[in-house]
Amino acid sequence: MIKLVWREPESLADVQALVQGAIDIEFSTLPPYLYASLTILPDTNAPAKARLQSVIMQEMIHMCLACNVMNAIGGTVEISPPSYPGNLPHSVGGSLVVHLYPFSEAAMDQGMAIEAPLEPIDPRTLLLSAGDQDVVTIGVYYERLKQALQALPASDWTPDRNQVDDAQFFQGQVFAVNSYDDACNAIDQIVSEGEGTPKTPEVQGSPLDFQNELAHYYRFWEIKRNQVLQKDISAEKNDSGYVWGGPLGVDWSAVYPAIPDPEQYDFSQESAAVQLTQANCNIAYTAMVDALTAAFNGGTGQLGVAVRAMFDLRMAAIAALNTPLKDGSVAGPAFIVDRIIDADATRIGEAA
């Protein structure tokens, strides 16, 4: 379970720092989830891949919403990609080291560890977990952030400042944040889609989010168990109201022979073709990060540039996964920001 250090804000700058923490967390989940999805062999594991892709898309939406909150309170959005393996931003004590794993049970375990709610709802029992006053789960972090945002005076909010809405990205799901109420709606969406609706003294809790879909934690759990999670319609329902149903059709062998954590791999001894595919992945990823940073800081047209870079990254990743290393394995994208590479000398899709 990811836990964050909560520092009670004393100023607008402190609140902006807490929002930046949310942006960092949302962005940092994308590479490990993408690596797992990209390494599934074509035309296999369709139900699992659909679940992973839905999680990835929602994480991107969550990052967009967090960036909108930052802009609404006058902050400057930063996109700061972490290295893998490594700690997610603001995690405590190095308790969870996040890797780039190919599609595997280990990758699903990691996804569950990242998305775990304070009280996961087990289809048989309710698992209880004690909280801490200063070290909190993502869900608690966001709830406290809502309180901090609510305490800001109206003068700290700037409507229509660098907002990204669904006219530009993710139609019907991304919206402008111009007030505390908008920010509250954004945070509720982020938390519910990640953890499900929380258990409270008044509410039993549910693995479903506010859109009545399974939250991220439970989608990873479905894949890990290779079972569909469904509502319990039996006469004597269990405490959670859900049961494990039929198989999901997961085939753990239908995966590229991809190495974990390609950032740690020494590609200098590999062929020029392998080195080219990795360079192209870095170029596309760097372009995407730079364009997103510009877009959320008011850059006109930069979101379109970011979307094109995402497509380039996908194509570069496919090329990398189909270019064998010397030992017959392959390496997916390492998700490295590298501005040293001369983009004029390297072109996505060129042969070495």
Backbone angles phi and psi of 213, in degrees to 5: -115, 160
pLDDT at 352: 38
Q: Tell me, what's the pLDDT at 348?
A: 45
Task: Provide the CB-side half-sphere exposure for 250 (13 A, CA).
Answer: 24
Average pLDDT, integer, range 105-134? 63
| Angle at which helices 138-150 and 180-195 cross, to 10° | 170
Res. 43 pLDDT band, cuts 50 70 90: very high
Distance CA 321, CA 15 (A): 41
Give the helix/strand (H/E) hosting 293: helix 272-295
Band (118; pLDDT cuts 50, 70, 90): low
Q: Would you call 318 exposed, middle or buried from its count of C-beta atoms within 10 A (0-12, 13-18, 19+)?
A: middle
Instruction: Return the residue matching tokens 């372009």.
Output: 287
pLDDT classification of 349: cutoffs 50, 70, 90: very low
Taking each helix axis from N to C end, the angle separating 138-150 and 12-28, rounded to the nearest 10 degrees, works out to 150
Per-residue pLDDT at 102 exceeds 50: yes
* pLDDT at residue 269 in the model: 94
pLDDT digits (tens, 9 = 90+) for 216-266: 888 999 999 999 988 777 656 555 677 888 999 999 999 999 999 999 999
CB neighbourhood size of 44 (10 A): 15
What angle is formed at CA 174 by the lines to CA 142 and CA 303, rounded to 5 degrees? 110
d(CA 309, CA 79): 15
pLDDT given at position 328: 97
**pLDDT > 70? residue 211:** no
Strand partners, 96: none
CA-closest candidate to residue 332, choices 260, 267, 272, 283:
260
Contact call for residues 192 and 142 (beta carbons, < 8 A):
no
Do residues 256 and 102 make contact, with C-beta atoms less than 8 angstroms apart? yes
**Residue 91 pLDDT > 60, yes or no?**
no
The first and second tokens of residue 236, run together, are 């004597």
Q: Is 0.75 surpassed by the pTM of this model?
A: yes
Question: From start to end of the chain, where are the E strands?
Answer: 3-5, 86-87, 97-98, 135-137, 227-231, 242-247
Rounded CA separation 22/101 (Å): 23
Token digits for 313? 């990254």
Give the E-state strand segments of 95-204 in sequence order.
Answer: 97-98, 135-137
Those residues whose C-beta lies under 8 Å from the C-beta of residue 110, and which sit 6 or more positions away, are 32, 98, 99, 101
- Return the closest-CA partner of residue 338 out of 297, 278, 265: 278
Share of the chain above pLDDT 70, in %: 80
